[in-house]
Amino acid sequence: MGVGVDPTAGRTDREGSHVTTGSIATETDRAQAGLGTVIVFLSLVIIGAIAAGVLLSSAELLQTHAEATGEESTQQVADRIDIVGVVGYTNESAGTFDQTDLDGTAELHRLEVTVQPGPGTSVIDLEETTIELLADEATVLTYRDVDGGFDDRDFHRYVELEADDSDFFAVRDYDSGESVSALGSTDRGVIVIPLGMYDDETEWIGDEEELKQPARLEPGVTAQLTLTTAQGSQRTTTLYVPDSLTDDPAVTL
């Protein structure tokens, strides 16, 4: 059997130079390699640009959120309402305020909360303010404009409230006694909250109407009063009703 011989082995060119055997890199091969490098580079640039865009978008979103949170906090601080004091009136004082005939048991039938805007607050919109009274159960009260105003400390006899006005509070100016719906920076107001059930035997209830308010507060009861302004600023106070109310027509809570 003959031995195979590489036909190119030992071949020389015309100049006598030895011809190298095997693969030889061409211009096309080098061009393809360069194109591949460019594609990889461009891909990295595009990925970096996308990542940078995502980071910038996230940063802008966080900044916007932080600014919104800051503005909300500022508004809450600038919309603060302060509670100056709270007084409760018992059934024994009902005659003084021209209320309906009551059964004479000693319990609070009316709360008066003196309030004023907090430092830096220009105006408190009472129409957008809510009050939560938490005792045996929680009741949310909303503002009602008492068109007839007040007669001394009580609602004027020309005021006529209806069943739809249930769970309400009204506000009178601390100095003039007139009904108000907003408090300026230097104003004080008295929030009036009747307690219990009222029917048309009460002068300020319309004919054949019945108005439901939070339950009257009995001696020894602890209640919580929370005022919330339109911007969400809250002020809470705890009310401690004395154990005995027999001889106290009005008590500080």
Which pLDDT score, from 0 to 100, does residue 235 have?
93
Which pLDDT score, from 0 to 100, does residue 10 have?
47
**Cα–Cα distance for residue pair 194/182, rounded to 1 Å:** 20
Average pLDDT of the chain is 76
Which pLDDT score, from 0 to 100, does residue 27 have?
64
pLDDT in tens, 36-81: 777 877 788 888 888 888 888 777 777 766 665 545 544 545 678 9
Which residues is 123 bridged to in the sheet? 184
Which pLDDT score, from 0 to 100, does residue 247 have?
60
Which pLDDT score, from 0 to 100, does residue 246 have?
66
Which pLDDT score, from 0 to 100, does residue 11 have?
47
Q: Which residues of 102-130 are buried (b: 16+ CB within 10 A; e: fewer)?
A: beeebbbbbbbbebbbbeebeebebeebe
Please answer whether residues 123 and 117 qualify as being in contact, where contact means their C-beta atoms are separated by less than 8 angstroms: yes
Which pLDDT score, from 0 to 100, does residue 121 have?
84
Q: Which residues contact 101 (CB under 8 A, 6 or more apart)?
A: 94, 201
Q: Which residues contact 117 (CB under 8 A, 6 or more apart)?
A: 80, 81, 82, 123, 124, 183, 184, 185, 187
Residues of the chain with pLDDT under 50: 1-5, 7-22, 70, 73-74, 76, 94-102
Which pLDDT score, from 0 to 100, does residue 66 have?
61
**Cα–Cα distance for residue pair 147/165, rounded to 1 Å:** 13
Q: Where are the alpha helices (DSSP H) in the chain?
A: 27-77
pTM of the model: 0.66
Which pLDDT score, from 0 to 100, does residue 44 have?
83
Which pLDDT score, from 0 to 100, does residue 26 have?
65
